[in-house]
Amino acid sequence: MRRLLLKIFPGMREFSSAEDLRSDSDNGAYNLAVRRAVASYRHFANFKRDKDYNKILEHVSEQDGREYLKILQDRNDGIFNGARKTLLRSDAIGNPRKYDYGTGAPLSPTTLRYLKVASDLKILFGDLSGTRIAEIGCGYGGQALVCDTLFKTREYVIFDLPDVTRLAAKYLESFLLNGCYVPRTLNAATPEPYDLVISNYAFSELPRAVQ
Ligand SMILES: C[S@@+](CC[C@H](N)C(=O)[O-])C[C@H]1O[C@@H](n2cnc3c(N)ncnc32)[C@H](O)[C@@H]1O
Per-residue DSSP letters for 7-60? HH-GGG---SS-GGG--SS-SSHHHHHHHHHHH-HHHHTTGGG-HHHHTTSS--
DSSP E strand stretches across 57-149: 132-136
- Give, for 198, the enclosing helix (H) or strand (E): strand 196-198
Question: What's residue 14's pLDDT?
Answer: 72
Residue nearest ligand 1's atom 20 by CA: 160
Question: What's residue 84's pLDDT?
Answer: 83
| 159 CA → ligand 1 middle, Å | 8
85 by DSSP, 3-state: which?
helix
Crossing angle of helices 29-39 and 162-172, in 10° steps, is 40
In CATH, the number for domain 2-205 is 3.40.50
Question: What's residue 16's pLDDT?
Answer: 72
Residue nearest ligand 1's atom 13 by CA: 137
Pocket test for ligand 1, best of 16, 50, 57 (most atoms within 8 A of CB): 57
Question: What's residue 145's pLDDT?
Answer: 95
Q: What distance in Å separates the CA atoms of residue 189 and residue 175, rounded to the nearest whole number?
A: 25
Question: What's residue 86's pLDDT?
Answer: 73
| 44 CA → ligand 1 middle, Å | 18
Residues of the chain with pLDDT under 70: 1-12, 21-27, 89
* Residues with C-beta less than 6 Å from any ligand 1 atom: 17, 23, 25-26, 56-57, 136-139, 142, 159-161, 164, 186, 200-202, 205-206, 210
Per residue in 123-174, pLDDT (tens digit) is: 999 999 999 999 999 999 999 999 999 999 999 999 999 999 999 999 999 9
| 26 CA → ligand 1 middle, Å | 9
Question: What's residue 91's pLDDT?
Answer: 86
Taking the CA of residue 30 as reference, the ligand 1 atom at the shortest distance is: 25
Q: What distance in Å separates the CA atoms of residue 99 and residue 108, rounded to the nearest whole number?
A: 6
**Total residues belonging to the chain:** 211
| 165 CA → ligand 1 middle, Å | 10
Written in H, E and C, the secondary structure of 108-139 is: CHHHHHHHHHHHHHHHHHCCCCCCEEEEECCC
- Give, for 184, the enclosing helix (H) or strand (E): strand 180-184
Question: What's residue 160's pLDDT?
Answer: 96
Sequence ranges of the domains in the chain? 2-205
Residue nearest ligand 1's atom 21 by CA: 160
DSSP 8-state symbol, 175: S
